[in-house]
Structure formats: structure tokens, C-alpha cells
């Protein structure tokens, strides 16, 4: 499916929001260092979102067919989920990290055709999506984060849908009977924009975004 001018504009706006978050998290990490080490996962996730959005805007949806892009794009949900676990529930961080490393390896093997199964895509995208959805809810209910942080959970719901949509490309048949290629390309760019804006709104209160220091 050909990428439209509107899609390119949406992707560029998404990239700007992602870059904004990268600088915000870097500024906070640069200020607190060890205390904010989990910010490195957020930085990695939104940096990949920025690069992926830019490449898609420049070269069209065809870039999403490359195995390397599919593998690297996994860093987006994995990085955000790891950042949240490291920030709010650090005692579970090491176990969750090991679990996602295994998931990343399995997804890489499945994407390159070494592992003949597609089940790893919905499983790990669903788990990371649910993590990003529920942890902000728990964090706000237990007063570990401001109420506005619930927007990160909204971003988690959207990233879960977007991840499943992307994973369905190349399956040969629609995932769950609904994610046709046409539907995926129609909803993909709006989902990415809404997701990035939701994350920006949710993370905003916890970041010194008005004090960003540019290198």
C-alpha cells in the first residue's frame, strides 16, 4: 500500500514528539545519573520510534517489510516496559529483563525464519503492552505517580494494538481475522501519533522538560 502525504505528515509529527521525549529523558538522566538509570530504556525506545517514523516517512511502508526493522522496532515496547518496571517495581526488574531478552531472541529468530512460528509476536507484544497499560494504573493508584501518569497507560494500550498490527504484516492471513494489510496501513500512522502524544502527556509531569539542555 502506498504511503500518503497525510501519513508522512503524521509520521513526522510522531517523530518530533518522540525526539522531544528522548531529550526530556536524557536531561533527567544527565541530572540524576544512577538514580534515573532506567531512563536509558525510555531513551532507547523513543529513539527507535523517532528513527522508524522518519525512515517510514521518507521511504514508505515498504521499509516495514525488512526483518531488521521488525526486530529493532521491538525495542519500542520492550524499552518502555523495562523502564516502567525499573522505575516503579525494581525488585522485579532483573527477572523481567531476562524474560524480555528471551523474547527478543525468539522474535529475532522468528523474523529471520530460523524459528518457524509466529506465536512469539502476539505473546510478547501483548505482555509488554499489558505491562505498559497496567503499571501506570497501579502507580497512580498507589500514589507513586501523579494522576496524569495514567496517559502512559493509554499509550500502552495503543502500543499493544500497534504492535499486533505490525506483527500481522507478512503472516499470509489476517491476525485474529481482522488485521488485514489494508487495515494495518490505514490505522498504523494515527495509532503511532496518538501513542506518542499519550506518552508525552503522561511522562510530562515527571520530567524537567522546561530545563532541557541541548548539547
pLDDT category at 45 given cuts 50, 70, 90 is very high
> Is pLDDT above 80 for 163?
no
* The three cell numbers locating residue 95: 527477572
The residue count for the chain: 215
pLDDT at 166: 67
Contacts of 205 (CB under 8 A, 6+ apart): 146, 148, 149
| Neighbour-count burial of 49, counting CB atoms closer than 10 A to its CB (0-12 exposed, 13-18 middle, 19+ buried) | buried
pLDDT at 29: 87
Q: Which residues sit opposite 175 in a β-bridge?
A: 179
Please give the Cα distance from 137 to 89 (Å, whole number): 13
Q: What is the pLDDT of residues 86-117, one digit of tens each?
A: 999 999 999 999 999 999 999 889 888 787 77
Please give the Cα distance from 92 to 85 (Å, whole number): 7
For the ranges 59-68, 84-93, 130-139, 200-209, the lowest mean pLDDT is seen at 200-209
pLDDT at 75: 92
Please give the Cα distance from 55 to 43 (Å, whole number): 18
3-state secondary structure at position 179: strand
pLDDT category at 207 given cuts 50, 70, 90 is very low
pLDDT category at 209 given cuts 50, 70, 90 is very low
pLDDT at 175: 54
Q: What is the pLDDT of residues 14-40, one digit of tens each?
A: 999 999 999 999 988 888 766 788 999
> Is pLDDT above 60 for 179?
no
Mean pLDDT for the chain overall: 84
pLDDT at 173: 53
> Is pLDDT above 60 for 210?
no
pLDDT at 69: 83
Model pTM score: 0.86
pLDDT at 110: 86
Amino acid at each position: 500500500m502506498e504511503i500518503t502525504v497525510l501519513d508522512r505528515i503524521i509520521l513526522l509529527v510522531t517523530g518530533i514528539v518522540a525526539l522531544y521525549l528522548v531529550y526530556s529523558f536524557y536531561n533527567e538522566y544527565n541530572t540524576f545519573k544512577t538514580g534515573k538509570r532506567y531512563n536509558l530504556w525510555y531513551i532507547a525506545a523513543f529513539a527507535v520510534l523517532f528513527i522508524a517514523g522518519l525512515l517510514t516517512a521518507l521511504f514508505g511502508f515498504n521499509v516495514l517489510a525488512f526483518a531488521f526493522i521488525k526486530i529493532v522496532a521491538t525495542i519500542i515496547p520492550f524499552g518502555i516496559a523495562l523502564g516502567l518496571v525499573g522505575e516503579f517495581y525494581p525488585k522485579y526488574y532483573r527477572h523481567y529483563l531476562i524474560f524480555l531478552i528471551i523474547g527478543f531472541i525468539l522474535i529475532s529468530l522468528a523474523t529471520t525464519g530460523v524459528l518457524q512460528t509466529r506465536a512469539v509476536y502476539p505473546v510478547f507484544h501483548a505482555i509488554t503492552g499489558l505491562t505498559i497499560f497496567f503499571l501506570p494504573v497501579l502507580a497512580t493508584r498507589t500514589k507513586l505517580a501523579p494522576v496524569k501518569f495514567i496517559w502512559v497507560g493509554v499509550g500502552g494500550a495503543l502500543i499493544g494494538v500497534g504492535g499486533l498490527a505490525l506483527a500481522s504484516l507478512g503472516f499470509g492471513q489476517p491476525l485474529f481475522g481482522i488485521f488485514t494489510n489494508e487495515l494495518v496501513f490505514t490505522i498504523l500512522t494515527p495509532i503511532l501519533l496518538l501513542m506518542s502524544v499519550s506518552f508525552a502527556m503522561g511522562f510530562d509531569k515527571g520530567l524537567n522538560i522546561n530545563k532541557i539542555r541541548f548539547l
